[in-house]
Amino acid sequence: MKRKATNWLLRILFSVLFIAALLLGIILKPILSYANKTHYKNVAVFHNEPLNTQFTKVLDQALSDLKKSELYRQNLHLDICLNDGSNYPKLIKVLRGPAFAWGFYNKVVLQGSMNCEGNYVELNGYKWNLAQLLAHEMTHCLQFDCYGLLNSKPFADIPNWKWEGYAEYVARKKGDQNDLVKNLDRLHQSDSNIWEITLEDSTISSREYYNYWTLVQYSLDIKHWTYQQLLDNASSEDKIREEMASWYADKKAENEDKRICAQKTMRATN
C-alpha cells in the first residue's frame, strides 16, 4: 500500500515537473506561439499579423529613452511579443494577471490592443502611450539583465516604488515630463478619487505608478543619486515623499516670488 502511494506521488511529481518544463519552454521560445519573427536592431518582434509599418518608428522612440538608463547594455537582446492573435499573451495573462503589458527576463509582452498610428495601447477603454509602455517594460528587462533573476522582483525584496518608479522614470521623457514641478502640479490638480492620471496626450498612468515615478525622479534628478544608490539607500518611501513635498513647496514659493518680481518689473517699465 505504502509503495503504491509512493508510486502515485512520484507520477504526480513528474507530471508537475513535465508541465512546468513545457510551460517554461513555451515562455522562453515565443516563436513556438507565433507565425512571424521580425528583427529590428537588437529586438526580435514576434507577431501573427503583418507588422505595422509605424511600429519600428514607435520602437525607435522607446529605444532612444531606454539608452539613457544607466542599466543599458548595447548588446542586450530583447523580445517583444505582440497581442495580435497568438495564445502567448493569453498564457502570460493567465500566469501574471491582466495588464497593459508585462516585462520580464528579456521579454516584453503586450496585452492590450495596439494602435501604432495613435501611439497607444488600449485596455478596457483606457489608453497607455505605446512608446512609453515599451520603454517601461524594456526597463524591467534591463533590471533583470543587470541584477539577475533572483535579485529582481518578484524574487527579491525590492520596494515596488523603486522597481516600478524607475521603469516609469526611464519611459516618461516626453514634453515637459522631465520637469518634476510640473509633474507634481499635475498630481495635485488631479482628482484623488480616481485611479488614473491623464497625461497631455490623453493617455494615462495609474495614480500608483505616477506617485512612484515622481519619487524616483526626485531621488535621481534632484538628489542626483544613481539608481544603484537609490536601491542601496534605506530611506523609506514616506521619508522621501516628505522630503519631496518640502522641496516642492520651496520651489512653488520661489516660482511665485519670481512671478511677482517679473510683474513689478513690467509695471515699472510700462
Q: Which residues bind Zn ion (CB under 5 A)?
A: 164, 167
Give, in order, the Cα–Cα distances in Å from 196 to each of 141, 158, 187, 208, 257: 25, 24, 10, 8, 32
Cα Rg of the chain (Å, integer): 23
> Which residue number, 84 or 137, has a Cβ lying nearer to Zn ion?
137
Q: How far apart are CA 41 and CA 268, in angstroms?
A: 58
CB of 198 to Zn ion, least distance (A): 19
Q: How far apart are the first and last CA of the chain?
A: 102
> Which residue number, 93 or 252, has a Cβ lying nearer to Zn ion?
93
CB of 165 to Zn ion, least distance (A): 9
> Which residue number, 215 or 248, has a Cβ lying nearer to Zn ion?
215
> Which residue number, 88 or 169, has a Cβ lying nearer to Zn ion?
169
CB of 29 to Zn ion, least distance (A): 23
CB of 35 to Zn ion, least distance (A): 28
> Which residue number, 163 or 248, has a Cβ lying nearer to Zn ion?
163
> Which residue number, 216 or 248, has a Cβ lying nearer to Zn ion?
216
Sheet of 43-47: strands edge to edge? 36-40, 43-47, 78-81, 107-110, 101-104
CB of 217 to Zn ion, least distance (A): 16
CB of 143 to Zn ion, least distance (A): 9
DSSP string of 123-185? ETTEEEEHHHHHHHHHHHHHHHHHH-GGGSTTTS---HHHHHHHHHHHH--SGGGG-HHHHHH
Give, in order, the Cα–Cα distances in Å from 168 to each of 28, 45, 80, 199: 25, 22, 18, 13
Packing angle between helix 130-147 and helix 160-171, nearest 10 degrees?
130
Q: How many residues does the chain have?
A: 270
Give, in order, the Cα–Cα distances in Å from 191 to each of 182, 194, 196: 16, 6, 9
- Contact (CB, 8 A) for 130 and 102: no
> Which residue number, 109 or 248, has a Cβ lying nearer to Zn ion?
109
CB of 266 to Zn ion, least distance (A): 46
